[in-house]
């Protein structure tokens, strides 16, 4: 399709409903507390004509002590002019979540005083919450080193952008904050990952032409695992959890960006708000969130979904037996002929992922919005009673986003939707229906398990704030249109095995733990470490005792040899005795015995029973040597050398 105006949304004959007015900037941010809970923020119309930042909304929420002129200068230092602006003010502590694009640092490490002042004002907004400014230079509540600049990209990708004139913040110039990299891969990696899932799903559906059996083949779950889709979901959710903790627990501010600030940034800030604010988990609030952080803040829906500039001749327009993302329920298939021409666009998108076309449209397609909805599905699985809408509602949103039946998911920015392309033609927002007109009027999307009382801000530990577990992710049965068993059986088996091994390990540690340890040493839970340390000490003690015993025996034998020498007993050689012949060779024990004998020969002899005495010079003998050596009877001098030499 070569023109967006050929989409079904422009030819449906449906009027533009009230859905376009669902999100109102002033109303939403006042709900959050701007102007009432805090005076640190203001509404700015510096981008009213979309000249400063064409992909940004016309009205922005910025720090009240930053002028519009400063914003204009700061925009020169950010990619596409997308300066740091407020997207969420937390109800509990006035901590903030802001978003932007990457700074234009470059290899020469360019800096912008205006950008630095803007970020500093965002991170110190607690000081101006009630119109008061602290005179102290010390960091105050909400303006501490826990303030974060979150770069969603891998570190290597961010550093590589320096060669293109962009990059990441030089933290030498940004005060009272630190920077973290989340390591979320770019659109090309996500596109390839979803393509591998699509390939595995299609292989399950394919059957030989002349095969009598109609049963589908078993889904290759290892192929799903190799796609690393769950790994990418975990990375996004891990970043979400870090943002939520920093805002709600540490009461500090977070600024999020990736490269241009409309892909990974949109995912992270949206998911964080869903976790922080129960309002965004309602049907209306979720729609407002998508309008605010995806539609208004310029996610490239038209570019990422490849709805335009894709020739139908490039693709097999026949849909597979199970659409990859499309909801194939009967009520959704009952569409007229005009709408059916737009429906295959989703399949076009997935086919383009597999074919890897080199054209501009295919190289920029990516399942970013779909991945966001998948993350929301993961949250629903972990907190099933905290969402007003079902998982099937997310499937319908995917279908709407790729079908082109509404103007909400067409175009790439608020400017393209709100401004007319020609003087004689109304704006697209005045010609096309909004997706929310139909969705919000349908009560079948409501979740029967939803319990809003769980989100009360008083009396509960979580206060309505969700802490997602990034490792507990699975393939979304609602979005991939497969049963949960076929998608996650192998994954569940691995996790059950892991839990079993952990239980076995815990039981073995508990059995080997001393009973009194938990009472004597409650501050050291590492019982295994202490048990191992005690065993090592016991081994060393036992080994040292053995060494001392060996030294004692060697000394006694040396004394016996010396006594034989003093008494004139000489070892005899017996040709019939193998031990005697063995003693005739170079025996190190014999050599050592001779050495000891020579050393002891110079000592004066005395009885073992006689008291210790000094030598003629008056010096005491070394304590390691015997004070006296007695001369035993010759008949009693029978000993055997450890190596086999006999002495008589």
DSSP letter at 296 equals I
For residue 404, say whether it is annotated as part of any ligand binding site.
Answer: no
The closest of 114, 120, 86, 116 to 100, measured between CA atoms, is 86
Q: How far is the CA of 36 from the CAs of 29, 89, 128, 176, in angstroms? A: 10, 12, 13, 26
Strand partners, 433: none
For residue 81, say whether it is annotated as part of any ligand binding site.
Answer: no
Residues annotated as catalytic are 258
For residue 333, say whether it is annotated as part of any ligand binding site.
Answer: no
Question: What's the rounded Cα separation, in Å, for the pair 88 and 82?
Answer: 16
Place of tokens 């279908």: 399
Strands 646-647 and 639-640: antiparallel
The closest of 244, 620, 635, 301 to 467, measured between CA atoms, is 244
Burial code of 124-142, b = ≥16 C-beta within 10 A, e = fewer?
bbbbbbeeeeeeeeebeeb
Question: What's the rounded Cα separation, in Å, for the pair 55 and 295?
Answer: 10
φ, ψ (nearest 5 deg) of residue 22? -60, -45
For residue 122, say whether it is annotated as part of any ligand binding site.
Answer: no
**Which residues have CB under 8 Å from 254's CB, separation 6+?**
95, 96, 97, 98, 147, 148, 150, 243, 246, 247, 272
Strands 41-44 and 254-257: unpaired
Q: How far does CA 342 lie from the centroid of its chain?
A: 37
Residues for the chain: how many in total?
A: 648
DSSP letter at 324 equals S
For residue 456, say whether it is annotated as part of any ligand binding site.
Answer: no
Dihedral Cα 41, 43, 48, 52, nearest 10 deg: -10
For residue 259, say whether it is annotated as part of any ligand binding site.
Answer: yes
Instruction: Compute the chain's Rg from CA coordinates.
Output: 40
SS3 assignment for 563-615: HHHHHCCCCCCCCCCHHHHHHCCCCHHHHHHHHHHHHHHCCCCCCCCCCCCCC
Report yes or no: 226 and 196 within 8 Å, Cβ to Cβ. Answer: yes
For residue 186, say whether it is annotated as part of any ligand binding site.
Answer: yes
For residue 151, say whether it is annotated as part of any ligand binding site.
Answer: no
For residue 264, say whether it is annotated as part of any ligand binding site.
Answer: yes
DSSP letter at 293 equals I
The closest of 304, 308, 412, 310 to 366, measured between CA atoms, is 304
φ, ψ (nearest 5 deg) of residue 152? -70, -15
DSSP 108-174: TT---HHHHHHHHHHHTGGGGTTS-----SS--TTSSTT-EEEE-S-HHHHHHGGGGT-----TTSS
φ, ψ (nearest 5 deg) of residue 404? 70, 25
DSSP 491-546: HHHHHHHHHHHHHHHHHHHHHHS-TTHHHH-TT---HHHHHHHHHHHHHHHHHHHH
- Reported as type and span, the H/E element at residue 373 is helix 368-382
Which residues sit in the known binding site?
186-187, 258-264
Which residues sit in the known binding site for substrate?
186-187, 258-264
């Amino acid at each position: 399709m070569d023109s967006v105006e050929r989409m079904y949304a422009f030819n449906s004959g449906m009027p533009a409903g009230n859905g376009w007015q669902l999100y109102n900037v002033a109303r939403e941010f006042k709900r959050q507390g701007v102007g009432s809970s805090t005076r640190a923020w203001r509404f700015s119309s510096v981008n009213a004509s979309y000249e400063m930042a064409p992909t940004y909304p016309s009205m922005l929420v910025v720090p009240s002590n930053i002028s519009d002129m400063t914003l204009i200068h700061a925009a020169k230092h950010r990619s596409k002019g997308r300066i740091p602006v407020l997207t969420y003010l937390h109800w509990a502590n006035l901590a903030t979540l802001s978003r932007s694009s990457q700074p234009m640092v470059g290899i020469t490490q360019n800096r912008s005083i205006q950008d630095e002042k803007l970020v500093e004002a965002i991170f110190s907004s607690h000081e101006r919450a009630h119109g008061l400014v602290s005179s102290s230079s010390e960091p105050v509540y909400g303006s501490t080193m826990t303030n974060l600049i979150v770069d969603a990209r891998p570190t290597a990708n961010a550093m590589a952008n320096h060669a293109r004139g962009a990059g990441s913040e030089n933290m030498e110039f940004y005060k009272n904050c630190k920077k973290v990299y989340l390591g979320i891969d770019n659109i090309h990696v996500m596109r390839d990952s979803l393509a591998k899932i699509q390939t595995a799903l299609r292989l399950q559906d394919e059957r030989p032409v002349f095969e009598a059996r109609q049963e589908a083949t078993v889904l290759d779950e290892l192929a799903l695992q190799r796609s690393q889709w769950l790994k990418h979901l975990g990375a996004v959710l891990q970043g979400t959890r870090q943002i939520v903790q920093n805002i709600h627990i540490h009461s500090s501010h977070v600024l999020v960006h990736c490269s241009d600030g409309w892909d990974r940034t949109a995912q992270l800030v949206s998911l964080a708000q869903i976790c922080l604010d129960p309002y965004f988990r309602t049907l209306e609030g979720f729609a407002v969130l998508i309008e605010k952080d995806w539609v208004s803040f310029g996610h490239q829906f038209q570019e990422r979904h490849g709805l335009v500039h894709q020739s139908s001749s490039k693709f097999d327009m026949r849909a597979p037996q199970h659409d990859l993302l499309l909801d194939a329920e009967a009520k959704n298939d009952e569409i007229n002929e005009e709408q059916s021409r737009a429906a295959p666009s989703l399949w076009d998108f997935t086919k383009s992922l597999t074919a890897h076309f080199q054209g501009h449209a295919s190289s920029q397609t990516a399942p970013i919005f779909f991945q966001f909805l998948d993350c929301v599905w993961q949250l629903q699985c972990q907190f099933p009673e905290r969402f007003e809408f079902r998982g099937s509602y997310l499937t319908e949103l995917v279908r709407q986003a790729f079908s082109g039946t509404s103007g909400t998911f067409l175009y790439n920015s608020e400017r393209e939707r709100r401004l007319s392309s020609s003087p004689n033609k109304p704006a697209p927002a005045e010609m096309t229906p909004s997706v929310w007109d139909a969705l919000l009027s349908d009560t079948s999307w409501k979740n029967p398990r939803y319990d809003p009382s769980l989100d009360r801000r008083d009396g509960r530990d979580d206060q309505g704030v969700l802490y997602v577990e990034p490792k507990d992710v699975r393939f979304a049965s609602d979005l991939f249109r497969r049963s949960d068993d076929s998608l996650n059986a192998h994954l569940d088996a691995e996790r059950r095995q892991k839990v079993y091994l952990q239980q076995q390990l815990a039981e073995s540690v508990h059995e080997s733990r001393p009973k009194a340890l938990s009472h004597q040493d409650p501050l050291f839970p590492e019982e295994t470490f202490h048990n191992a340390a005690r065993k090592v000490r016991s081994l060393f003690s036992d080994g040292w005792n053995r060494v001392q015993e060996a030294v004692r025996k060697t000394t006694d034998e040396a004394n016996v040899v010396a006594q034989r020498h003093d008494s004139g007993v000489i070892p005899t050689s017996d040709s019939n005795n193998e031990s005697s012949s063995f003693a005739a060779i170079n025996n190190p024990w014999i050599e050592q015995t001779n050495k000891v004998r020579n050393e002891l020969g110079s000592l004066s002899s005395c009885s073992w029973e006689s008291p210790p005495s000094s030598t003629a010079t008056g010096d005491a003998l070394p304590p390691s040597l015997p004070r006296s050596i007695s001369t035993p009877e010759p008949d009693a001098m029978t000993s055997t050398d450890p190596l086999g030499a006999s002495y008589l």
